[in-house]
Chain A
Amino acid sequence: MSDALRAEWTKLRTIAGTWWLMVGAVAVTVAASAGIAASTHVSPGGSGGASGAGQDPTKLSLIGVDLGQAVVAVLAVLAVTEEYGAGMIRVTLAAIPRRGVMLGAKAVNIAGLALVTGAPAVAGCLIAGRLLLPEAGLGPAHGYALLSIAHGPTLRAAFGSVLYLGLIALLSLGIGTVFRDPAVSAGIVLGLLYLPPLLAQLLSGPWRRHIQQIAPMTAGLAIQATRNIRSLPISPWAGLGVLAAWAAGMLLVGLAVLKARDA
């Protein structure tokens, strides 16, 4: 396994695309958070714009993850689908014939890269939120503490957001392994992430709640909530657990397909 891990790591680090996508993921995540924070205006009176009551500054500052995850997903999808384009998967499997070992080595590496990408991205979001949210009406002057990871729920939200990106990478790797084509796989991952939240908006009552409880993005992002947790469709860690189940499930389907198919 250690040889396979090292080989897959060498593969990832020796193409420039890997590094560009990681830098891109951090940039997109932080820029989206900063942009949203800068354009938010909460008026305590509640007339126009968002109402000050019940805002969650931590969750708001981490909103860039909603967008940055797409770049992480593409990175993970490409890690496996690029091998199918020119048939390099046959060289890979000639070198590492145990298909479970090969996929496991890819999974460890790609999850590691997602965590390494997620840490600075999430830190950047919190710093942007700390600097910009007081201007938006979500600062100490309005009864909100400055964002700080000394605050337990904020630390959990930040740490959880990094884990979230790692799990998104594994989910994407599993889907890429099943579908092999980069464009098709990326489309399916993005659809799976972004369509259920939109669908939930169209529904009401228990259906909306159920979708939010089982969809990978809405359930997984529950980890970012720090206020009114009782009213969430799913609790933070249970939500991240739902995403972990999705990731594990897709990896297992990917492994089954990989083992059954001719390379």
Chain B
Amino acid sequence: MSEARIEVDGLRKRFGQTLALDGLSFTVAPGTVTGFVGPNGAGKSTTMRVILGLDSIEEGTALIGGRPYARLTHPMRHVGSLLDASALQPSRSGRNHLLWIAHSQRLPVSRVDEVAELVGLGKAARRKAGGYSLGMRQRLGIAAAMLGDPPILIMDEPFNGMDPEGIIWMRGFLRGLAAEGRAVLVSSHLLGELPDVADHVVVIGRGRVLADATIEELTAGASSLEDAYLRLTSGAVEYRSGTDGEQRR
């Protein structure tokens, strides 16, 4: 899987007056889970949308195995993505949601049932997706991301809304993907989940990379990953509650 690499280089993007991405660069290597963290509004979701060709950029490149996403034929065979688990039509069944995506990537219908099985959707696959809990929607979204058996996966907050059992399942699942040689980029605000899952962490704030290191490197000299994170991002938060208010500027 030599093409299983995301290369983001010098991304710059503005929303009106705000500089959302300010020269962002990092790489997601094959066989690793890369955690993507930062305060709200730091640009995590925007970066993911840029990588997937959904949002435009003013400068920089975001490449999938050397090519922009929008140039890929059957892109979901190269990159599986889950940006927002609730992004579905509520009156369509989970299985039919997977079916139209399978058709768009010219994948056999048998693949739909395989991935529904893989994420443990079970009989719920035949029910309307509008009735799913957030945890179930996350599973459906991961099934969609896995349809094309892609070497690269991009997931925005996949732990959101999952019950403890789901979180444990998700951890093992993500580690398994990396063990198979895939490149996995996972954003999360649940820092406690990261040491168990990620090999590598990219911390961003105000559209810039604040740290790009292994978990061990980050936590060296700090009492915990949380502690290291708070120190890194102290200058880059829009708002922090309580006594830390003075640190805002």
Which one, A88, A90, A262, A263, contacts B89 given CB within 8 A?
A: A88
Number of contact residues on A: which range applies?
20 to 34
Knowing that A82-B89, A93-B53, A97-B53 touch, tell me 12 more A-B residue pairs with CB under 8 angstroms: A14-B92, A15-B89, A83-B89, A86-B87, A88-B89, A90-B54, A91-B101, A93-B52, A94-B53, A95-B105, A97-B69, A98-B70
Q: Which residues of A contact B116 (CB under 8 A)?
A: none
Q: Give Cα A86 to B86, complex, Å.
A: 7
A90 touches B90 (CB 8 A): no
B83 contacts the other chain (CB 8 A): yes
Complex interface: stretch among A1-9, A54-62, A135-143: A1-9
Q: Which residues of B contact A6 (CB under 8 A)?
A: 103-104
B171 contacts the other chain (CB 8 A): no
Which one, A8, A15, A262, contacts B55 given CB within 8 A?
A: A262
Q: Which residues of B contact A16 (CB under 8 A)?
A: 91
> What does the 1/0 interface line of B124-158 toward A look like (CB < 8 Å)?
00000000000000000000100000000000000
B101 touches A86 (CB 8 A): no
Q: Looking across the interface, which residue of chain B has its beta carbon closest to that of A97?
A: B70
Q: Give Cα A241 to B9, complex, Å.
A: 49
Interface of B is mostly: loop
Q: Which of B147-194 contact A (CB under 8 A)?
A: none
Q: Which of B91-112 contact A (CB under 8 A)?
A: 91-93, 96, 99-101, 103-106
Q: Looking across the interface, which residue of chain B has its beta carbon closest to that of A4?
A: B104
> What does the 1/0 interface line of A53-90 toward B look like (CB < 8 Å)?
00000000000000000000000000000110011101
B75 touches A94 (CB 8 A): yes
Which one, B49, B86, B103, B104, contacts A263 given CB within 8 A?
A: B49
A149 contacts the other chain (CB 8 A): no
A49 contacts the other chain (CB 8 A): no
Q: Give Cα A75 to B144, complex, Å.
A: 26
B72 contacts the other chain (CB 8 A): yes
B104 touches A96 (CB 8 A): yes
A112 contacts the other chain (CB 8 A): no
> What does the 1/0 interface line of A84-125 toward B look like (CB < 8 Å)?
001110110111111000000000000000000000000000
User: Between A and B, how many residue pairs show CB distances below 8 Å?
Assistant: 86
A10 contacts the other chain (CB 8 A): yes
CB distance from B79 to the nearest CB of A (A): 8
Contacts from A to B (Cβ < 8 Å): 3-4, 6-8, 10-11, 14-17, 82-83, 86-88, 90-91, 93-98, 262-263
Q: Which residues of A contact B87 (CB under 8 A)?
A: 86-88, 90-91
Q: Looking across the interface, which residue of chain B has its beta carbon closest to that of A105?
A: B104
Q: Which of B49-78 contact A (CB under 8 A)?
A: 49, 52-56, 69-70, 72, 74-76
Q: Would you list 8 pairs from A and B whose C-beta atoms are within 8 A, ordered by A residue?
A: A7-B104, A83-B89, A86-B86, A87-B87, A93-B54, A95-B105, A97-B69, A262-B54
B91 touches A7 (CB 8 A): no
B88 touches A86 (CB 8 A): yes
Q: Which residues of A contact B99 (CB under 8 A)?
A: 10, 14
Q: Give Cα A3 to B107, complex, Å.
A: 10
Q: Looking across the interface, which residue of chain A has its beta carbon closest to that of B87?
A: A87
B91 touches A97 (CB 8 A): no
**When A and B form their complex, which 3 residue pairs have the shortest distance between CB atoms, in order from nearest?**
A7-B104, A14-B96, A10-B100
Q: Give Cα A65 to B89, complex, Å.
A: 30
B54 touches A95 (CB 8 A): no
A97 touches B104 (CB 8 A): no
Q: Looking across the interface, which residue of chain A has its beta carbon closest to that of B95?
A: A14
Q: Which residues of B contact A11 (CB under 8 A)?
A: 89, 92, 100
B81 contacts the other chain (CB 8 A): yes
Q: Give Cα A107 to B166, complex, Å.
A: 40
Q: Give Cα A83 to B87, complex, Å.
A: 8
